[in-house]
Each structure stands twice: as C-alpha cells, then as structure tokens.
Structure 1
C-alpha cells in the first residue's frame, strides 16, 4: 500500500505518515496529503449531521447554545493554533478535531449509553470507536480493489491523531477506540507506534496505548473548548451563577471529583478557584443579558482558552527543548494547575446537567426512544434501513453482524431524525 506521488508537506512527517489504506494518485501536487484529509472531513455528511446532534442542551432547543458541529469547529480552531505553536502539522490536528465527535449518536453521551447497553453482546458501543468505523468504513469515498469501502481513506497520521483511545474494549474500561471487526485497519494505522516510543513517553503509559502528540493536542483542545463554552452557555441560560458556585462550593467540588479529578482535595480545588476568580477578566457581578455583559463573557472565554493553551505550549517546549514536535517525538505537557482549573469549569457545567430533574427526565425518555427504535429495526430489517445499511445488512454473516449494522444506522441519525423514525416505526 504505497503512497502514489504523495506530497507530505511539513518537515517532520514522512511517506509512512502520509500513506493511505488504499493508494490514491495525487491529483493536485501542490496540496499536502494532510490538507486533503482535512477537506474530506470538512465536506463529509457525518460532519454536517453534527449540527442536529446534542452537545449538552438538546440540539435545536436554544438559539445560543452549542451543538456538536459548532463545538467541533471551535475545537478545531483551538487545536490548529496550538498545533502550529508546537510544530505539528495544523491540518492533521484540524482534521482530527473536526472528526473527534463524528461517531456520537443522537442525544450525545446519553444516546451512547443506551446503544452501549443494546450492543453489550456484540462488543458494546463507544463514540470514539464509532468515529474510527465511520472514517474507515461507513463514510464512503474510496473503495479497495475487493470492492469494500475504505471510508474517507485518510492518511495514517490523521487517523492516528483522531484516535483518542488507541485500544480495543478491555474488562472494566468504558472507553475504547476500536471494535473487534475494525482491528485490521486499526493495526495498520498504529503501525510503527512501538518503534517511535522514546524518552518522551508519558509515565505509566504502555507503549501500545501511547497516543501521538497530535491526538493529545486534539483531546486537550476538546477539554479546553467544552470547559469554557459549557460555562458560557450555562451563564447565558441563567442556569449557572458564578457567585453561587463560590458560595456553595461543596456540591460542585464533589462533581469535579466524581467525574474528572477523583484524587483532588478541597485545598486543590479551592486554590484553583482562587486563581480563576482573581483573574482580571473574571466576571465581577451577575449576568444581566446586556451587550456589555455578553462582551465580558466572550472576553472571559477567549482569555481562558489563551491561558490554558499558552501554559501547555510553554510547558511542552520547556520539557522537550525543540521548536518542532511531531507524532511520537513528545507528549503534551499540561501543568497540574491548569488541569485543575479546566476540571473545575467542566465540573460546574456538569453539576447542572447531573442535578437538573427536567434534564434527567428528558434523558430517560431519550434512552427509551433509542432502545425502542433499535428493537423495532431488529424486527423489520433490512426494511426501514437506509440503502447503504440495507446492503451491509444483506452481506452480514450472522445475527451479531446484523445487529451491528442496525446500531450503525441508528448511530448515524440526528436527534430529530431519530425522533421521526421512532414515530414512524414505533408510534
């Protein structure tokens, strides 16, 4: 599977990084392999569907708050800029950031849990594993000589950068990045990882589990984006009052420990909160919906993003001492204080999701909807499936493979289309 006339581009990457699962001729020699990858993700149907998929608040229920698409665009902007300062190819990180949520089903993580239960007997469901499946199989652009879809046929470096959890499902672990029947392409994209492990490997990380630097930048950009933007959305929706957080710390701190930093002490979190609230751009009064308040809130988000990314950039360069860092040259270094501040912001947003009775009721309804939809399709498939999934169903070797096709179909739906399908098939 050699690269046919590949234009690798930025220094530090080679033909191995730019190789594709199915070799393709380079039609525009002035364009790098990684710029082509970014364009393929940007123009994909899967990315467009994110506009109608839940981020935190149900998609379409509010004109201001983010959906999965706007979140992904913001993650890509943060990741691209951080990548450039580190020396990574910005198109690789941009493409990985755009792709990082493509595998999410209707209703976000709530839908993910419902599908995981339904698929428990066939290896489960995980949004990141579904992303890899989509990029290498379901979102068709290229076919191999045997007539099998190679998905978007992205380069090895970009697929590796989009792999947040580079391992199959293991006992006791909820997060994983590949299903059993996608292990062949996963093995191909991870080829050479062990050989790249050097003094930069993170402490306690097995060689085979190590993520490339670009994947770490993507993951960090995702953390930064939703830590500040969820708080911004919550403040504008008047569901988060920062003064109340400061006055009633205990339940917020417990959420931080429960979801993000289990070993954080009250002193750690108190000190992180003191640093945040002492910043010159931290809001000094209640949010009143005025243009000045909106401008101040926007300044808060941009300053916090700059604060977190600058700290990671400086710490990474300080440890590894080179201006250009790519792939397995280094690991992203995030100072502990920055991790605490990000976790605090995420915990504040999550507290209101976990403790809203209205949201809990709605989430239960959403899980029931997806469960009934899958059960209905199991009874009538391939009837009712979209044409590509009906073809996959016809070619499936057994009941397990057929159930996986149905899960693929339901995962591809947006929030409104899942509701419409449920109305049509279940009533």
Structure 2
C-alpha cells in the first residue's frame, strides 16, 4: 500500500478491532449502518413527517438512496480507464468511500428536517452565543468524530480519513477556517457565501464546527497537495451530486403520491413560460417578483437567477430544452393521472424515478480545474439544467405552500420550547443530580472541548459580533448551550414532541419508550 493509500485509510486511534469487513472503507460503512444515530433517521422528517404511512421518504430512506446513487456514480467513473489518471491525481474515487459517506451525510439532521436546522441554528447563536451555531452537515461530522460512542475508544466512530473527507460537502467552518476563508473569494464556492441580509454571520453552509477542526485537518491531509483548501474531494463531490439527484427526483415522487404535487399548476407554469419566452424576457425583475404567482413568472426569475449565480454553465437553449423535458416527463407523464395506489400508478412512479436516475447518473463527468461553484465531478450541461428545473418545481409547488408553512411554524415553536425547557432543567441546581445522563455527558464533553480551544486558540470562540467567552463561567455557558443543541438534535420527530409533553406536564405517563433518559 502506497503512502497516499495509507493516509486515506488512516484512523485517529489506529484501531480497527471488531470490524467484520477486511476493507477499512467497507468497515466504515458497517460502522455507520449500525450506529443508533443512523437508525434514528427513520423517525426524522425529510420534508414533511411521514407519520408511518410508508408513502414518504424520511432521512433514513433518503440516505440509503444517496448511498445507492453515489456508489453507482463512483463505480461508473472508476471503471472508465480514460478517467483513471485524473481520479488518481485528484486523490481517488473509491465506491466504498462514497457509499459510507452517503449513509453518514445526514446523521446530524435534527427533528423536522431543514426547519429544525434553522431553528436550532438561531437558538444556538442568539440564545447560547455559540460562534458557529448549528449546521446539519457540521453536526454529522461531530457525530462520527465525537458524540457517537460506537468506535473503539467510545469517541465517535473512528472512521478513515477518506470517508470523513468525503462527508465534507463544505470543507470550512462558519467563520474562521481555512484562512483566507472561502466566503471572501471573488466567486465563493456553493454554500460559502453569507445568507442574504445577514452580513457578518459567516457562511450559510459549512461542514465543520471549531470543535472538530483537528479532525478536518487530519481527514484532509492526504489531499493537501492535490486540492485547494476549500475544494471537495472527488468522493465528496460524488456524494454531493448524488444528494442533489435524490432530492430532485424522490421528493417530487413523494408529493405526487400524496396528491400535493398536482398537474394543473405545474402544467400552467411550465407551459406559460415555454409559450411566452420572448415576452417574459422583456419584463423587468421588479414586475416579475411582484407578480411571481402568475404562471411562468417564477420560472423566468429562476432563469435570471441562474445567469447571475452560475454563468459558468447556464445556457438559455439548454434551459428551454430542460423545461420541455420536465414538462413532457413530469407533467404529461407522471402527473397527468392522480396517484391511486394501483399497479399502473406504481409503475408510472417507478418509470419516472428510474428513468431520471439513470439519465442523470450516466451524464456525469470529471474535470481537473472546475469553477469555484462546482466540484470536480459534475452533471453534464443538459442534466444540470434539468436538475435546476426539477428542484424549482419542488420548491415552487411544495415548499412554498402555506399549509406546509402552517405545519412548520408549529414545529418551530415545539423545538424552541423544548430547548428552553432543557436549558432551565440544566441550570436548576436543585435538579442537578437528576439530569438525563446523556445530557450530563454532553456538557462534560463540551466543557473539555471549549476549555482546550480557549487555551490554544481563543479566536475560534469569538462569534460574529466579536465577543469571546469570559473565563470559566463563559466556557460553561457555551458548553451547556452546545450540549442542549447536541441533545435535541439527536432526537427523532416523535421523541422531541413526547419529551416536550413530559417537560410541560402534558403527559400523565412517567415512563415512555419514545425516549431514553
């Protein structure tokens, strides 16, 4: 085994006892698949709660499909002899690494999906003063390196460097690392820019908290001479693309099944834009935004947004062709008949899902010097535009629905109340001896981490507003906040609701199998 291969397979503890698989990367896949954090994903919302219906994807089924699609892409790329020198130069593309990273990439998603992520981030930053807040991708890395206890030393899962690097869709922290930070590039990588209207808060997306900086450094070491500090590894790029493909296809499939994604409005939007391309192109942005509910207007806004954001690949002819293909296959193919559970309806869904998956996977390519907005592995131009249109349909006709917003506002209040109740319990000196043991362990872990950072590099603990924790009391406050966030993020949807019922006195049962204290 060469030096690079040894570095890729390196673990922090160096121990691999108890693994059934001989391959270190297969062993990593097994470690993730047997983790309780992975099992809990079956009870975590993808977009809306599945409620046990079996009709909707949850985070577990989504992760399985990302791993499946990612492995298919990696096998296709690694089997092409023309790509072998390029993949070797960039650091490798092992299907087992991609498979393991695909299973692990969503471990950190909290209850209620992306809504839960936004709520916990706001509470982490504003209520607890945590400098890097909360981010699902960074939480995933924290689990496999720190808070899971399934590894040989009971600290994380002790995964190989290659798999940890493949989990880093956004290989930077929110504010400080690497230096210079990628959000300051002329054309920042996808996710590195600050959220609109939140100047000074750091990157919108990131895969590493300051507490896991050493893990990121060790995981990225085998790729240091091959990639820029902010670039994904090839395996991370494959996993990221597989995630996009799964979202683009399977969420539409879900909402067709339950009757939310309906033929008429989608047909009107795509049809009106195609019939009035030149007319809509002459309207100014303000008018389009003011009347975005009119058929065709939102799709024209998307076309313009892609030109501003992704000029490196966007092409109007390819965009028109993508809209036509989505209209033909989604509107006139899948949505033309409501889903009724019949064999015919199930076959229509299967044809749509498999057909699009094969088309997108077989359109993959590898480039040595990609633009900053792309990874080294990317969709072909036609497929890239098609994914943008599919994701637009999902956002416009599912995510922006008022009834979904109503549902999510209640979930946001639930999570906020739960965090507040746990914080009050944690600071109640009369109940200190009866805290959940897991919460106590998380406080002690975070206190140790923040104390070490304060002693070695206090700048990592300075938030966006420029305030550092004051002494031991400040470190304890940060640790309590991180522990509460870690604890809540590790719950399923139903566990979060049941725990709040108990803490609020609404539950008459002293014991419940919905959570373990």
Structures share fold, TM-score greater than 0.5:
yes
Of 99, 117, 123, which aligns to 1:94? 99
Aligned to 2:277: none
Contact 2:20–2:27 (8 Å) recurs in 1: no
- Deviation, 1:172, is 4.0
Q: Could you say which structure has the larger radius of gyration?
A: 2
Of 238, 241, 252, which aligns to 1:220? 241
Of 22, 26, 33, which aligns to 1:35? 26
Structure 1, unmatched stretches of 5+, are 1-7, 198-206, 321-329
Partner of 1:165, secondary structure, is coil
Matches within 5 A, 1:198-237: 207-237=228-258
Contact 2:326–2:389 (8 Å) recurs in 1: no
Contact 1:260–1:347 (8 Å) recurs in 2: no
User: Is 1:248 paired with 2:248?
Assistant: no
Aligned to 2:64: 73
TM-score with structure 1 length normalisation?
Answer: 0.84
RMSD of aligned alpha carbons? 2.7
Partner of 1:19, secondary structure, is coil
- Deviation, 1:268, is 5.5
CA deviation profile, 1:58-79 (whole Å, cap 9, x unmatched): 1326331111111111111111
Contact 2:261–2:398 (8 Å) recurs in 1: no
- Deviation, 1:157, is 0.2
- Deviation, 1:291, is 1.6
Distance 1:30 1:78, change over 3 A: closer
Structure 2, unmatched stretches of 5+, are 79-92, 176-200, 271-295, 369-374, 427-431, 448-474, 506-517
Contact 1:256–1:346 (8 Å) recurs in 2: no
Of 266, 277, 291, which aligns to 2:343? 291
Distance 1:27 1:233, change over 3 A: closer
- Deviation, 1:236, is 1.4
Of 336, 354, 364, which aligns to 1:302? 354
Matches within 5 A, 1:3-402: 14-25=5-16, 31-60=22-51, 62-87=53-78, 88-120=93-125, 121-122=129-130, 123-142=132-151, 149-170=154-175, 171-197=201-227, 207-242=228-263, 244-249=265-270, 250=296, 253=299, 256=302, 263=309, 269-278=319-328, 282-283=333-334, 285-289=336-340, 290-312=342-364, 315-316=365-366, 331-381=376-426, 386-394=436-444, 396=447, 397-402=475-480
Distance 1:369 1:229, change over 3 A: same
Contact 2:109–2:140 (8 Å) recurs in 1: yes
Aligned to 1:412: 490
- Deviation, 1:385, is 5.2
Partner of 2:363, secondary structure, is helix
- Deviation, 1:143, is 5.6
TM-score with structure 2 length normalisation?
Answer: 0.70
Contact 1:51–1:59 (8 Å) recurs in 2: no
Aligned to 1:323: none
Distance 1:164 1:209, change over 3 A: same
Partner of 1:227, secondary structure, is helix
